[in-house]
Amino acid sequence: MGTTFDPSKRVFAGPSYDTFSKAYPRIKNIVLKANEHRYEKYNTRLSKNDFRSMIQCSNTACKEGGFEIYIILNELYHKELKEGKGTLLCIGHEPMGRSSSRRCFNSMDYEMAIEYISEKTKS
Ligand SMILES: [Zn+2]
C-alpha cells in the first residue's frame, strides 16, 4: 500500500499496566504466545502486565517492522472472544540499496487467550 509507517499513530501508548487497563477495562487476564519460525525465536510470551501493542520483528535487517498484535486484541475484545490464533505478517521492509526495499518476509504464529471480568455469573 506504499504508505510510510508511523508507529506512533498506530499504537496505544507504552507497555504499562495502567495504559492497558484503561484501554481494555473488561480484561482480567491475557496471555499471548508467539513463535517466529523463520528466525527460530520461540515462546515469546506477553501477559497483562507487560502487554504492548507491537511485538518486535527478529529480522535484524528489518526496518519499521513488527507484528501488530493490538489488531488481534482489538478484534477479540470487541467480539468478547476468549481465544484467537493465527499468523501475522511483519509490516516492515528490508532496505536493498539507496532507494529500494523489499518487504520483510518474517511471520509470527500466535495464540491469544483472554479472560474477561464477568459482570454476571453464568450457570
Ligand atoms: Zn520484519
d(CA 101, CA 83): 35
Q: How far is the CA of 116 from the centre of ligand 1 (A)?
A: 31
The pLDDT of residue 14 is above 60: no
Alpha-helix residue ranges (DSSP H) falling in the chain = 17-23, 69-79
Contact residues for 37 (Cβ-Cβ < 8 A; gap 6+): 107, 109
pLDDT band per the 50, 70, 90 thresholds, residue 23: confident
Overall average pLDDT of the 84-101 stretch? 94
The pLDDT of residue 50 is above 90: no
Q: How far is the CA of 108 from the centre of ligand 1 (A)?
A: 10
What local confidence, expressed as pLDDT, does residue 26 receive?
94
Give the start-to-end residue ranges of the domains of the chain: 26-116
Q: How far is the CA of 16 from the centre of ligand 1 (A)?
A: 24
Residues paired with 55 in a beta bridge: 67
